[in-house]
């Protein structure tokens, strides 16, 4: 059933882009003569492919980077705030209080009182004296939203706000967004979340480097864009037939001489005109091709044995007994509320430091960490992929990367310059080259374009080794085909 939302009509413009140009470099345009308007009280989704420049557009709005040409006009005396995708490691030594204070240019004397109010809104129960490093992934996610809300903004920017949130956290944020009266622009791949409150979409077209605007709920807009692509593909298919027919005539008449040769020249001009009239189909609508993650050979019978696990209760570590064995084909889904210690548990297991969990000697562990910190952000993507190969095979490496939509430009770039979505696809390319005997996956759909998720789910379903996965995306987990569940909240 369609969700009806009151769409502000004719409201005052609070944000306007006028002929904005921005390039990462001379050969990497992001926006070209871009124009769009955001009106007061609208709640919009910002869409585009991984690496299209969605986070960059947010940086332009916030003033962190400046347009090379054109103007970005923000309503007078309006406050802006952004909840970014993640908290950089460089800030992990800060206390929660210091992190909240860093959102303001001036000293805030009632920060504790303000913090309590926004913590109640996002259901975050942590001490202001805790360091960022002590928080779970879910708690960091809630803190990012709290830091934006504590500024009481008129325009709120949310960059993948549901990443790392558990089911309860997503529902809480959904309810908040429905009631929120401010102006919001959201980047997210969580379709049900977006469809519950957004009025329309602003869409970065990577062919024109411009922003298109659509009105309607999220599902309707996605369907409209899909139909546009299908119409373009049908039109191009018809043109291809006509072009090929004219080319055949050109080749035939060119050999005849005289008037026939003039006709051939005329037809050749028509072919060029038809080529120019082709509709450029959006590159961003490509989906990664089906792939497999091959399992390490001869991994034996019982690959992982759980006797106990360490979890957090009221912020304190406690050890709880469990009895789980994982063999080939077993897929264990670990669940529990934010702050229970899921990410810490996976990290310890991946590094073989969780004393209650034994991984068979010689097993090659493929570990997908949600913040990608297993990768060296200062090295190129090519370098990191080459590391996993015992013997460098340039053709295999590039073919694997290309199938994950990572071309030569992305391979040559430092990993830190890739978008979060591209880092996620890079991690799957890494796992494919690794041939692991055990997969440990921590929120592997975070940042991933929704078109790719079914393909990834199918690959994980077909993976023949054992798998341990943490994910809050119910449909994804269902498609993967988990065989066992460990609920840390019930231990």
Q: What is the pLDDT of residue 275?
A: 63
Q: What is the pLDDT of residue 96?
A: 96
Query: Which two structure tokens, joined as six digits, stand for 75?
Result: 């309503």
Residues 256 and 62: their CA atoms lie apart, in Å, by 66
13-223 shares its CATH topology with 304-490: yes
Ordered by start, the domain boundaries in the chain are 13-223, 224-285, 304-490
Residues 17 and 100: their CA atoms lie apart, in Å, by 29
| Element (DSSP H or E) covering residue 87 | none
Give me the CATH topology for the region 304-490: Rossmann fold (3.40.50)
pLDDT of the chain along its 491 residues, tens only? 333 344 455 578 999 999 999 987 766 788 999 999 999 999 999 988 767 888 899 999 999 999 999 999 999 999 999 999 888 888 999 999 999 999 998 898 999 999 999 999 898 989 999 999 888 888 898 999 999 999 999 999 999 898 878 788 888 899 999 999 899 999 987 888 888 898 889 988 887 888 988 888 788 877 877 777 777 677 767 777 777 777 777 676 666 666 666 666 676 666 666 565 555 555 555 789 999 999 999 888 899 999 999 998 877 889 999 999 999 999 999 999 888 889 899 999 999 999 999 999 999 999 999 889 899 999 999 999 999 998 999 999 999 999 999 999 999 999 988 888 899 999 999 999 999 999 999 999 988 887 899 999 999 999 999 999 999 888 899 999 999 999 999 98
Q: What is the pLDDT of residue 271?
A: 63
Query: Which two structure tokens, joined as six digits, stand for 152?
Result: 């009481």
Q: Identify the burial level of 16 via C-beta atoms within 10 angstroms of its C-beta, where 0-12 means exposed, 13-18 middle and 19 or more buried.
A: middle
Q: What is the pLDDT of residue 258?
A: 64
The architecture (CATH level 2) of 13-223 comes to 3-Layer(aba) Sandwich (3.40)
Residues 469 and 482: their CA atoms lie apart, in Å, by 9
Q: Identify the burial level of 202 via C-beta atoms within 10 angstroms of its C-beta, where 0-12 means exposed, 13-18 middle and 19 or more buried.
A: buried
- Contact of 86 with 92, CB cutoff 8 Å: no
Q: What is the pLDDT of residue 277?
A: 54
Q: What is the pLDDT of residue 7?
A: 47
Q: What is the DSSP string of 308-341?
A: EEEEEETTEEEEEEEEEEE-TT-EEEEE--TTSS
CA nearest neighbour of 210 among 280, 286, 158: 280
Taking residue 303's Cβ as centre, other Cβ atoms within 10 Å add up to 21
- SS3 category, 220: helix
Residues 31 and 52: their CA atoms lie apart, in Å, by 9
Which residues are bridge partners to 317 per DSSP?
312
Residues 97 and 208: their CA atoms lie apart, in Å, by 43
Length of the chain: 491
If phi > 0 it is left, if psi is from -120 to 50 it is alpha, else beta; for residue 118 that is alpha
- SS3 category, 23: strand
Query: Which two structure tokens, joined as six digits, stand for 405?
Result: 């939509």
Q: What is the pLDDT of residue 260?
A: 67
Query: Which two structure tokens, joined as six digits, stand for 283?
Result: 């590159």
């Amino acid at each position: 059933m369609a969700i009806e939302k009151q769409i502000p009509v004719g409201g005052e413009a609070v944000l306007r882009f006028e002929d904005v140009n921005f390039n990462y470099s001379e050969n990497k345009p992001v926006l070209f003569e871009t124009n769009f308007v955001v009106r007061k009280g609208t709640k919009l989704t910002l869409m585009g492919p991984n690496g299209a420049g969605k986070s960059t557009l947010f940086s332009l709005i916030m003033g962190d980077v400046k347009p090379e040409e054109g103007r970005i006009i923000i309503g007078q005396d309006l406050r802006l705030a952004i909840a970014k995708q993640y908290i950089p490691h460089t800030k992990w030594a800060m206390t929660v209080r210091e992190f909240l204070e860093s959102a303001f240019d001036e000293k805030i004397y009632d920060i504790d009182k303000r913090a309590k109010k926004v913590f109640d809104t996002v259901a975050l129960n942590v001490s202001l004296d805790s360091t960022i490093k002590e928080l779970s992934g879910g708690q960091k996610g809630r803190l990012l939203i709290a830091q934006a809300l504590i500024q009481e903004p008129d325009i709120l920017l949310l960059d993948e706000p549901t990443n790392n949130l558990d089911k309860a956290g997503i529902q809480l944020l959904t309810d908040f967004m429905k009631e929120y009266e401010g102006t919001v622009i959201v980047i997210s791949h969580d379709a049900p979340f977006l469809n519950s409150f957004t009025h329309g979409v602003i869409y970065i077209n990577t062919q024109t480097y411009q922003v298109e605007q659509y009105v309607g709920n999220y599902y309707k807009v996605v369907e409209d864009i899909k139909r546009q692509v299908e119409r373009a593909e049908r039109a191009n298919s018809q043109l291809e037939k006509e072009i090929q027919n004219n080319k055949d005539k050109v080749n035939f008449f060119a050999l005849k001489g005289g008037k026939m040769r003039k006709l051939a020249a005329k037809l050749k001009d028509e072919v060029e005109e038809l080529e120019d009239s082709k509709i450029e189909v959006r590159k961003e609508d490509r989906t990664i091709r089906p792939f497999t993650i091959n399992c390490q050979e001869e991994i034996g019978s019982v690959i992982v044995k759980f006797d106990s696990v360490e979890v957090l209760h009221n912020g304190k570590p406690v050890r709880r007994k469990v009895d789980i064995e994982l063999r080939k084909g077993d897929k264990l889904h670990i669940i529990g509320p934010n702050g229970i210690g899921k990410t810490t548990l996976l990290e310890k297991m991946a590094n073989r430091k969780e004393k209650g969990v034994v991984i068979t000697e010689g097993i090659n562990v493929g570990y997908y960490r949600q913040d990608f910190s297993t990768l060296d952000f200062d090295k190129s993507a090519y370098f990191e992929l080459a590391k996993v190969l015992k013997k460098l095979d340039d053709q295999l490496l590039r073919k694997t990367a290309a199938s994950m939509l990572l071309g030569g430009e992305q391979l040559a770039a430092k990993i830190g310059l890739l978008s979060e979505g591209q880092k996620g696809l890079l991690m799957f390319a890494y796992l494919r080259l690794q041939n692991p005997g055990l997969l440990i996956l921590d929120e592997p759909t975070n940042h991933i374009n929704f078109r790719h998720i079914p393909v990834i789910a199918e690959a994980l379903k077909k993976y023949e080794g054992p798998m341990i996965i943490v994910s809050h995306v119910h449909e994804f987990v269902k498609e993967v085909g988990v065989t066992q569940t460990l609920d840390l909240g019930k231990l």
